[in-house]
Amino acid sequence: MRPKLTIPAQIKDMKEAGITFNICSETEAKHFLEYSTYYFKIKAYAKNYDKYLNTNKAGQYINLDFAYLMDLSKIDTRLRKIILKMALDIEHYLKVKMLADFLKVDEDGYDIIQQLLMMQPELDRAIEDKSNTSTCNELISKYKDDWAIWNIVEVMSIGQLNNLYGLFYSRNRFSNSYVNMLLPVKMIRNAAAHNNCLINRLRPPYSRKINPCYDLRNELTQNARISPKISEKKLSHPAIHDFAVLLYLYSRIVPRRERTYSEIKDLFNVRMLRHKEYYAKNEVIKSSYEFTAKIVNFYC
């Protein structure tokens, strides 16, 4: 077990690990660690940096100042806020799309929910459990024994909605249902909602194996003119892939995008470049940024 470290001890621990305080002073770092973040979280971004192997500095980080970690932390925070906003928009317009398509088919709206509840018997209990905490208490009390597709969507989590959405489009064939993109959107939405770091591990091994969405990969190759080889390599990173899917889907189903696009472009084309000299010697961070910025500027 590692001992509890006071903030001065955290600074000492970082210095022993080779992290310098030349750009950001120790006083500034202490203030940041006390009021803006915490040690375990900000130290996660150090995974993007190599360590010395065969010198008297073996085990220490190469070319890593605390200012770099602080900058990555601030960028990641802003990125998560934008992603969460986009995911909420997508969640709403997935409902809009599904219910609009529902009006075009021979469905009564009740049978599909009965099928879903048979496939997932735990869903009924999960929704009922929300009645004590959810703002949808009245809705749940009224419809809990008589759910239809148009009211149950109001009390579903994004994962539950994804299951209903997939079931609807398996029963009713429409082009461009985007069913294969729901999992990446859910993954990055949940990461952002729980304030998980997104750019803390830009090099393999990654948290999960990615099979890039065909439509996304095809569009990046043919229309965005990104090399298939580079796309394959960079889209193997879960957060980069899921963010690219988010942009792809957002561009197709959310009607009013200008304000969000402006925020994304400002983040990638202005804020992320504010201290680009910090990352001049880190090829992993540079190449990951360049690839993702191309996608951002293509869609936005």
- pLDDT tens-digit series, residues 169-195: 999 999 889 999 999 999 999 999 999
Which whole number is the average pLDDT over 134-152? 91
pLDDT at 231 over 90: yes
Rounded CA-CA distance 230/133 in Å is: 46
pLDDT at 133 over 80: no
Q: Give the pLDDT band (50/70/90) at residue 130.
A: confident
pLDDT in tens, 99-119: 999 999 999 999 999 999 999
Residue 61, φ and ψ in degrees, nearest 5: -70, 145
Higher-confidence residue of 204 and 265: namely 265
Rounded CA-CA distance 10/4 in Å is: 9
Structure confidence at residue 5 (pLDDT): 96
Structure confidence at residue 73 (pLDDT): 98
Chain-wide mean pLDDT for the chain?
95
Structure confidence at residue 117 (pLDDT): 95
Structure confidence at residue 248 (pLDDT): 97
Question: What are the residue boundaries of the structural domains of the chain, listed by start?
Answer: 7-88+181-299, 106-171
Rounded CA-CA distance 11/16 in Å is: 9
User: 9-18, 37-46, 126-135, 140-149 — which is least confidently predicted?
Assistant: 126-135
The neighbour count for residue 279, using CB atoms within 10 Å, is 20
Structure confidence at residue 219 (pLDDT): 94
Which whole number is the average pLDDT over 235-251? 97
- Quickly tell me which residue has 């949808």 as its tokens: 136
Rounded CA-CA distance 210/212 in Å is: 6
User: 87-96, 110-119, 188-197, 201-210 — which is least confidently predicted?
Assistant: 201-210
Q: Which residues contact 118 (CB under 8 A, 6 or more apart)?
A: none
Structure confidence at residue 60 (pLDDT): 97
pLDDT in tens, 22-66: 999 999 999 999 999 999 999 999 999 999 998 899 999 999 999
